[in-house]
Amino acid sequence: MSSVPPKMRYCKKCVYPFVGVNLVFDDEMVCSACQVAEEIDEIPESFWKQREELFLEILTDGRKRSRGGYDCIIPVGGGKDSWWQTHVVKKYGFNPLLVTYHGNNYLPEGQENLDAMRRVFDVDHIVVGPGVGTLRKLNRAAFRKMGDMNWHAHAGIRIVPMIAAIKLEIPVVVWGEIAWDIAGMFSPDDYVEYNKRTVFEHDMRGFTLEDFVGEEGLEEQDMHWLKMPSDEEFARVGVKGIFVGNFFRLDPNLQTKIMVEELGFQTARAPFERTYRRMSNLDDMHENGAHDYLKFVKFGYGRASDHASKDIRLGVMTREQGIEMVRQYDHVKPMKDLSRWLKYTGMTEAEFDEIADGFRDPRVWWRDESGEWRKWNIWDE
């Protein structure tokens, strides 16, 4: 039996635990994400009007400076955010080039959404898909190294579009939501741009392709698409990466509804094992499955907590309803999804469990007298 950590504390407004990644709690135990959400709720319409004008200025300037025949690049995975950012850019009359990093494990409806973007938005589209053998090796290596089999995808979608921007001399790259803002890292007054250091520390977990050379027989030439352009290359083209979420208020539920009803976007046809939402992460079947289960093993919460917390802040779910979603989904070991990933990588469930257990946070987990893993739950408050 291992020592029992102090009782876990949770945000009093959403369902995030005190150990939530990058979260800060105030004296009343309200997390930074909820604090920022309250700030956003109080923003006047005039603020967003000014941001809209700035968005148009940046894209207009990018159009003037572009030498690649396109006004900007939009990194897309084919999901709801990809569709929305493309919809916004096209609405204002700009001609984007879509760039995709393809990690190979799309759900069928996710692949259909990706393929449909050229037709729905009448845009050109470049897809970079590394060899499947290389991707299998990266799945295994990153899982062992950091407990994240999808590291290649987090890195690829941040790096590949920037490589394209520099090679084609298209200076503006338009991302969707500010991914790091899930923890309230930025206030509405912050002006967030693509930053190599933030990508390295957050999306890439502090690793680069050099850390994988020699792992699973991988060579640097196998992963050239993961090589971040140099500062000199960024400066030569004057590349600027911006986020739609910095200029327009995002409501994923409302925007997905628009994409489905007006443009034909597809949500997941079958329910996920670990969350109630069907509109997210269709570009990688394991994001909501085995990958998210690893998050639960590490930190004691998963995507159901993420989704419920967002929906509580948007006012479409009460905290009590959110707690029920956590109770129903967060602990589930997704055997259907995990079995597929184990077959894909050639690993056994016993190997998976042994490696995963090595990443458990001692602030969250302890073993009881029978050797079972235990944690404090939000309903233990």
User: What's the CATH code of the domain at 197?
Assistant: 3.40.50
Q: Domain of 179?
A: 45-246
Q: Which of 88, 87, 114 is nearest to 103 (CA)?
A: 114
- Does residue 132 lie within any of the structural domains? yes
What tokens does 369 get?
Answer: 């007298």
Is residue 315 in a domain? no
pTM over 0.85: yes
Q: Is residue 379 part of a domain?
A: no
Q: Which residues contact 343 (CB under 8 A, 6 or more apart)?
A: none
What pLDDT is attached to residue 187? 61
3-class DSSP state for residue 244?
helix
DSSP letter assigned to residue 239? -
The answer to whether position 152 is within a domain reads yes
* Residue 191 exposed, middle or buried by CB count within 10 Å (0-12, 13-18, 19+): exposed
270 within some domain: no
Note the pLDDT of residue 282.
92
Strand duo 96-101 + 72-75: pairing: parallel
Query: What pLDDT score was predicted for residue 190?
Result: 65
| Inside any domain, residue 206 | yes
**What is the structure's pLDDT at 71?**
98
Asked whether residue 187 is domain-assigned, the answer is: yes
pLDDT of residue 1: 62
What's the angle, vertex CA 288, arms to CA 284 and CA 293, rounded to 5?
125
Q: How far apart are the first and last CA of the chain?
A: 23
Domain count, the chain: 1
Q: Classify each residue of 257-282 as buried b or exposed e, where b means 16 or more C-beta atoms within 10 Å of its C-beta.
A: eebeeeeebbebeeebbbbbbbbbbb
Residue 245, pLDDT score = 87
Q: What is the mean pLDDT of each run of 10 residues along the chain (381 residues)?
A: 86 94 89 90 92 96 95 96 96 98 96 98 98 98 97 95 96 83 60 78 88 96 94 93 90 93 96 94 92 97 96 96 98 98 98 98 94 94 73
Residue 12 maps to a domain: no
Beta bridge partners of 126: 99
